[in-house]
Amino acid sequence: MSNGEIIAELHRIAAKHDGILEPADVVDAARSESSPLHSKFEWDDSVAAEKYRLYQARQLLIVTVDYIGTGKKATLQRVFVSLTTDRQQEGGGYRAMTTILADKSCRAQLLEDAFEEMRLFREKYAQLKELTEVFEAMRKVRRNIAVR
């Protein structure tokens, strides 16, 4: 199935719901084996349940934060991070932020991952002229780091 077919089907579902796509509506529409979205879902409940538990574990790791400092100077910091290079390995994985920051190559990979996320952010919000200064600041940081 092509990306165009998927987009067309999602537009059809949205049109049935006043232009709003809710995940539950997408799943309901995909239940039929004739749906172009059917093959995009795991329909074996035991397999889907295990995949959902893995998703929940990832969410737990992503949102685990710790306070650094005290009082008004306390800031939140991610405790675990998944580097792109780790995600390319079988099973992926997460590393402690303190370990990443202490290792030169891991820190460089984290910085490259941050630059990639900045690029994706720019692409997603490029039409919002209100963010022009943010985009310019991001380009400036990227240039300054590249010069070093």
The 10s digit of each residue's pLDDT in 4-16 is 899 999 999 999 9
pTM (2 d.p.)? 0.66
- The confidence score (pLDDT) of residue 60 equals 83
**What are the tens digits of pLDDT across the range 37-68?**
999 999 999 999 999 999 999 888 876 776 77
The DSSP code for 73 is: G
Please calculate the CA angle 140-63-145 and round it to the nearest 5 degrees: 15
Residue 115 burial by CB count (10 A; 0-12/13-18/19+): exposed, middle or buried? middle
Q: Which tokens go with 36?
A: 């172009």
The amino acid that residue 73 corresponds to is K
Q: From CA 118, how far away is CA 100, in angstroms rounded? A: 19
**25, 17 in Cβ contact below 8 A?**
yes
